[in-house]
């Protein structure tokens, strides 16, 4: 009984391999059938030009709470707070971008609605890259690690520096 079950499994495996080989040969494709459509579809190299246009942003993570714009805070500035936000980032295809965001911190509220900022970016041929955001008044820039997906229609990013900031951003092209 056990030999019969093993023999049946072996025959099924051989039949499956034969069918897959015939299907692959009939498609005249050099790529294996196991490769997903996304792997086959994203073979083109990326560059700064891959990110061009306006992208809608979703922001989520933690950061040191900023001091309030006025008055006495009910928290210690620099205490880690949850942050969420939305906005747009406009890439020029040549390594520069502008963004407008509204962010809400769990301690600080919304001290920076519709804040316009600028920065630079660099996209590598493997679609990874970096983005550097300059915030006036800060003695350092915010550096993101990014990955461009879906032929430049989307990107994902995380803050790489400064370390206390744990924010991720997802962007989808809107124009």
Q: CA 48 to CA 61: how far, in whole Å?
A: 26
Q: How much is the pLDDT for 18?
A: 40
Distances (CA, A) of 109 to 14, 71, 75, 156: 63, 13, 11, 25
Residues whose CB falls within 8 Å of the CB of residue 163, separated by 6 or more in sequence, listed in order: none
Q: CA 121 to CA 171: how far, in whole Å?
A: 14
pTM score of the predicted model: 0.71
Q: Is the pLDDT of residue 5 over 80?
A: no
Cβ atoms of residues 157 and 175 within 8 Å: no
Cβ atoms of residues 147 and 128 within 8 Å: yes
Q: CA 167 to CA 83: how far, in whole Å?
A: 8
Q: What tens digit of pLDDT does each residue of 116-139 get?
A: 999 999 999 999 999 999 998 889
Domain ranges of the chain: 2-41, 48-173
What CATH number labels 48-173?
A: 2.40.128.120
Instruction: Read off φ and ψ for residue 71, nearest 5 degrees.
Output: 85, 180
């Amino acid at each position: 009984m056990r030999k019969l079950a093993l023999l049946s499994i072996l025959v099924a495996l051989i039949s499956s391999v034969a069918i897959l080989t015939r299907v692959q040969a009939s498609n005249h494709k050099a790529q294996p059938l196991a490769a997903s459509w996304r792997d086959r579809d994203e073979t083109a190299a990326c560059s700064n030009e891959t990110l061009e246009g306006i992208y809608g942003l979703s922001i989520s993570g933690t950061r040191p709470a900023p001091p309030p714009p006025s008055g006495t805070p009910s928290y210690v500035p620099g205490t880690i707070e949850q942050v969420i936000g939305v906005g747009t980032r406009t890439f020029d295809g040549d390594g520069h971008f502008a963004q407008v965001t509204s962010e809400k911190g769990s301690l600080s509220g919304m001290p920076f609605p519709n804040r316009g900022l600028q920065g630079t970016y660099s996209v590598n041929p493997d679609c990874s890259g970096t983005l550097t955001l300059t915030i006036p008044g800060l003695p350092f820039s915010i550096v993101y690690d990014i990955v461009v997906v879906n032929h430049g229609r989307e990107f994902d990013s995380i803050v790489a520096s400064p370390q206390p900031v744990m924010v991720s951003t997802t962007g989808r092209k809107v124009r």
